[in-house]
């Protein structure tokens, strides 16, 4: 019944998934293999598995999210877990309860897995120190978003057959992006050549030390790229004068056919969503045949199933 067949039995000696940092190449590949199977299962009529039967999964979202939360919910349900969603709107966090109090309270309800998103970097790790269950980071501030990086890698691997040696250009708001950080760590671990492309105001200090090539021109940064990964530009960045206007940003950093022509002809177009059509990506490019944006969403469920399965192996049985 378990889709974690003996063939994909790999070592994943972690209680939590707090980030890509700290994962080995073997662990990442193991998760991707497991996710590949989950993707197959998810395309069948009978999607339901029992890996997490009797387990409780709580989605604890301190920051609003549609796709990540529903993706985890679906992944949990497909594996037979009982899933509960909590978000700040209806939690006592709004009544001044601290993060640790919330953690301790939830812990007392004996969940098996907590999926947490928080606006502060490190908050998920802090929470993980205070609970007995497994914790999955669904995004902490500008720090990490490990399942996003895993689903991106899975999508790439399905199309290109490999990660190693590919030129991946990550474009846009690098400074604030947890997606960029997790992707840089993961893609480097699997041997890709990673570039970041952004105006200097949206580059994080010392980013080159993370092992990336830095470009401030899209035309140059996309040259020969196998993968063009666009990031969402948050509109409030314009108010804080990091970018002068939407018009200027789109002109120099928005993905259109002119800039895309610099990449390899079969380059994949990716975006973690939600997209600002006409801001960081031309609408017609987003819907191009080379765009795998919708497949990323599908792989999101598969990757989250894989992560839940991997962590479930270490859950206590009595």
Partner 1 sequence: MTMQAASTNQDAPVTALVNARLIDPASGLDQKGGVLIAGGRIADLGPKIDASAVGDAHLIDCAGHVLAPGLIDMLVFTGEPGHEHRETLATASRAAAAGGVTTMICMPNTEPVIDDVALVDFILRRARDTAQINVHPMAAMTKGLLGEEMTEIGLLRDAGAIAFTNGKTSLANAKMMRNVLAYAKDFGALIIHHLEDPSLAEGGVMNEGEISTRLGLRGMPPVAETIMLERDVRLVELTGGRYHAGQISCRASLEIIRTAKARGLPVTCGVSVNHLTLNENDIGPYRTFFKMRPPLRSEDDRHAMVEGVASGDIDVIVSAHDPQDADVKRRPFAEAADGAIGLETLLSAALRLHHHAGVDLATLLKALTANPAHLLGLDSGRLAKGAPADLVLIDPDTPFVVAPELLRSRSKNTPFDAARLQGRALMTLVAGRALYNYADPGSG
For binding to partner 1 (CB under 8 A), which residues are involved?
21, 98-100, 118, 120-123, 125-126, 140-144, 178, 181, 204-207, 209-210
* Bridge partners, residue 87, by sequence: 61
Specify the pairing of strand 167-171 against strand 227-230: parallel
Give the residue with the Cβ less far from partner 1, 141 or 278: 141
Q: Least CB distance from residue 176 to partner 1, whole Å? A: 9
When the beta carbons of 140 and 226 are compared against partner 1, the nearer one is: 140
Cβ distance to partner 1 smaller for residue 98 or 317? 98
Cα–Cα dist 233/279, whole Å: 7
Pick 207 or 275: Cβ nearer partner 1: 207
Decide whether 48 or 119 has the Cβ nearer to partner 1: 119
Please state the closest distance from residue 101 (CB atom) to partner 1, in A: 10
CB of 144 to partner 1, least distance (A): 7
- Determine the longest span between alpha carbons in the chain, in angstroms: 59
Min dist CB 117 to partner 1, Å, is 13
- Residue placing its CB nearer to partner 1 in the complex, 101 or 258: 101
Compute the least distance from the CB of residue 215 to partner 1, in Å.
Answer: 17
Closest CB 25 distance from partner 1, rounded Å: 19
Separation of CA 59 from chain center: 16
C-beta atoms surrounding 112 within 10 Å: 21
Question: In this complex, which beta carbon is closest to partner 1, that of residue 100 or of residue 109?
Answer: 100
In the complex, the smallest distance separating the C-beta of residue 78 from partner 1, rounded to whole angstroms, is 30
From the list 180, 65, 52, the residue with the least C-alpha distance to 116 is: 65
Min dist. Cβ of residue 118 to partner 1 (A): 7
- Residue 35's closest CA among 75, 89, 83, 6? 75
HSE (CB half, 13 Å, CA atoms) of 287? 4
Specify the residue, 18 or 285, whose C-beta has the smaller distance to partner 1: 18
How far apart, in whole angstroms, are the C-alpha atoms of residue 95 and residue 27?
Answer: 40
């Amino acid at each position: 019944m378990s889709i974690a067949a003996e063939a994909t039995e790999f070592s994943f000696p972690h209680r939590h998934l707090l980030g890509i940092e700290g994962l080995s190449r073997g662990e990442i590949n193991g998760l991707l293999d497991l996710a590949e199977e989950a993707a197959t299962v998810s395309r069948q009529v009978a999607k339901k598995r029992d890996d997490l039967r009797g387990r409780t999964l709580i989605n604890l979202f301190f920051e609003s999210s549609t796709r990540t939360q529903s993706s985890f919910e679906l992944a949990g349900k497909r594996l037979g877990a009982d899933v509960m969603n909590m978000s700040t709107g209806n939690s006592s966090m709004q009544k001044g309860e601290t993060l640790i109090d919330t953690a301790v309270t939830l812990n007392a309800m004996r969940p098996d897995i907590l999926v947490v998103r928080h606006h502060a970097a490190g908050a998920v790790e802090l929470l993980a120190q205070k609970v007995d269950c497994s914790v999955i980071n669904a995004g902490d501030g500008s720090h990490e978003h490990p399942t996003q990086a895993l689903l991106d890698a899975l999508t790439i691997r399905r199309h290109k057959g490999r990660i190693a040696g590919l030129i991946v250009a990550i474009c846009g708001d690098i400074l604030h992006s947890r997606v960029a950080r997790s992707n840089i760590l993961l893609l480097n671990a699997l041997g890709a050549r990673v570039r970041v492309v952004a105006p200097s105001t949206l580059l994080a200090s010392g980013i080159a030390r993370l092992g990336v090539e830095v470009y401030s021109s899209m035309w140059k940064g996309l040259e020969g790229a196998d993968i063009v990964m666009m990031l969402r530009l948050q509109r409030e960045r314009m108010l804080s004068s990091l970018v002068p206007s939407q018009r200027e940003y789109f002109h120099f950093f928005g993905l259109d056919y002119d800039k895309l022509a610099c990449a390899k002809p079969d380059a994949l177009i990716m975006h973690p969503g939600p997209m600002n059509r006409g801001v960081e990506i031309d609408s017609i490019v987003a819907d191009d045949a080379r765009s795998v944006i919708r497949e990323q969403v599908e792989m999101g469920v598969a990757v989250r199933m894989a992560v839940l399965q991997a962590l479930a192996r270490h859950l206590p049985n009595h």
